[in-house]
Amino acid sequence: MKSKLLLIGSLAGIGAIGAMTLMAGSINEKEAERVALNQTPVVAEVDKNKSEEWERYYPRQYSSWKKTKESSDIEDLIEKKPQLAILWAGYGFAKDYNSPRGHYYAVQDNVNTLRTGAPIDDKSGPMPTACWTCKSPDVPRLMERDGENEYFTGKWSRYGSEVVNSVGCADCHDSETAELAISRPYVDRALLAAGLPTFKDSTHQEKRSLVCAQCHSEYYFKKTRYVGKDGIEKTANVVTFPWAEGLTAENMEKYYDDINFKDWTHKISKAPMIKAQHPGYEIASTGIHAQKGVACADCHMPYTQEGAVKYSDHQIQNPLNTMDRSCMPCHRESEEKLKGIVKQKFDRKEFLMEIAMDNLAKAHLETGKAMELGATDDELEAIRTGIRHAQWRWDYSIASHGSFFHAPEETLKLLASANEIAQQSRLKLVRVLAKYDAINFSAPDFSTKENAQKLAGVPLQKLIDAKMEFKATLEKAWYKEAVQKGNLNMESREGVDEESSYFKK
């Protein structure tokens, strides 16, 4: 799919290197270059969903984006914190949950996770199409081609040969002007629902966070009835931000309660659960950096100088790796000292997170025991509501991994609140268990991934076997078809599939 693309030319592009060399050396000349960079348009025809097509116009931005490949570590978080398998029992996350890799891997990580299962054709797979939504600039392309509701209909396997380019240029940039742009329509809908300015009405600095918020936000799949182009009534699972009551954990808890929403019923406790996704934008907004007007891009995409050219580093990563450019323009302490302060924040979060997870896991298991002994839904209703709210607050506060830094106080408050609600449920549970002669019941050991997944009923090896079969067959077919359709250059997949949590086994 070719589209007219009006790109702002870079003097540093091919053919302009000689001119750049001459210009270097004086502030006035740099200023002239800056003006030129911001004014010279270049028209080109490219497949905007393929980031490699943007390279010729933005070689530095592209090269740095490609370096997100360096964020390649996979940490099996269920191995590290086995309680997670209890907390998410009955939900995909109990199967597999890893620390995130760089943007370069977004599509492959979605394909590889055991959460997305092992589809065998374009109608199977446990997950809906919505699961692709944040992974690729192919998504706005498909929304444009098929219509938003149609895009949000069916199983994710339906788009296996379509969503093949990982998070890239067109996700955050307008292909006509190269300006910052949102590429998902639900973001403006959420901003309007929250009474906030739309993207267009936001400041440039706000936009430097809002493009990130397209994906790094809390969402749920809102069931939406519509009539397709074929005249048939269908149900779309539309990614929706629950911002209508406000952007705090408490606001969203109310939103979900008011519409009686649940992501799943917990397998052990039967509590009606909400899975917090990654409300990074929302929780960061409560922190001191955001309140001082710092945008996501200020730290995660710091301005970088190469010769006479200054550009935003697109190797989005942990700013502790780029402190000279991310932190030092504002802070006056040594990098070492700042790292020490960040470590304190991390340690406090870990301390409270462990406590909250422990009590939550026990609350689930104690509820399960009570049910096994005959406790009724009436007896357990308030307990389950407590578990729902406690786990929501815990999850909200840690699901976007950097919250301990972005908003340490809000994170600690939420973890403490989660723990208090979990403990209130446990206090009630002792009384219910007493009624069924099990007052001294003690939750079984969940201190290893094996034990915890067993308690959660996760058939790990079976899931891995099915996934490996899928990878050897349907997944291979997807990429072949994608190349034939012109959706994919295989070079862009270089090295994406060398590791996962279960390849190691």
> Which one among 178, 415, 464, 488 touches a second copy, defined by CB under 8 A?
415
403 touching a second copy, by CB under 8 A: no
CB closer to a second copy out of 11 and 414: 414
Distance CA 266, CA 45 (A): 50
CB closer to a second copy out of 8 and 430: 430
CB of 161 vs a second copy, minimal distance in Å: 48
43 touching a second copy, by CB under 8 A: no
Q: Report the greatest alpha carbon distance in the chain.
A: 86
410 touching a second copy, by CB under 8 A: yes
CB of 319 vs a second copy, minimal distance in Å: 18
Q: Is 237 helix (H, G, I), strand (E, B) or coil?
A: strand
User: In the stretch 270-299, what mask flags binding to a second copy with x, by CB under 8 A?
Assistant: ----------------x-x--xx-------
For 304-343, give one letter per residue: b (16+ CB within 10 A) or e: beeebbebbbbbbbebeebbebbbeeeeeeeeeebeeebe
425 touching a second copy, by CB under 8 A: no
CB closer to a second copy out of 222 and 413: 413
Number of residues that bind a second copy (CB under 8 A): 32
Distance CA 361, CA 447 (A): 11
CB closer to a second copy out of 142 and 433: 433
Please name the helix (run of DSSP H) or strand (run of DSSP E) that holds residue 475, with its range, or none: helix 474-485
CB closer to a second copy out of 6 and 382: 382
> Which one among 341, 382, 477, 490 touches a second copy, defined by CB under 8 A?
341
Beta-carbon neighbour count of residue 495 at 10 Å? Answer: 11
Q: Where are the alpha helices (DSSP H) in 306-407?
A: 323-326, 335-372, 377-398, 403-406
What are the angstrom distances between the C-alpha of 426 and each of 87, 262, 385, 498?
15, 22, 12, 44
Contact 299, 328 (CB under 8 A): no
> Which one among 20, 399, 430, 483 touches a second copy, defined by CB under 8 A?
430
> Which one among 94, 296, 412, 452 touches a second copy, defined by CB under 8 A?
412
352 touching a second copy, by CB under 8 A: yes
> Which one among 4, 351, 444, 465 touches a second copy, defined by CB under 8 A?
351
347: Cα separation from own chain's centroid: 23
Distance CA 479, CA 489 (A): 9
> Which one among 17, 192, 439, 490 touches a second copy, defined by CB under 8 A?
439
Distance CA 164, CA 347 (A): 38
> Which one among 6, 17, 227, 434 touches a second copy, defined by CB under 8 A?
434
First CA to last CA across the chain, in angstroms? 40
CB closer to a second copy out of 43 and 427: 427
Tokens coding 475: 């997944």
CB closer to a second copy out of 34 and 348: 348
Please name the helix (run of DSSP H) or strand (run of DSSP E) that holds residue 59, with its range, or none: helix 59-66
Contact 454, 82 (CB under 8 A): no
**Binding positions for a second copy, rule: CB under 8 A:** 286, 288, 291-292, 333, 337, 341, 344-345, 348, 351-352, 355, 359, 408-410, 412-413, 415-417, 419-420, 423, 426-427, 430-431, 434, 439-440
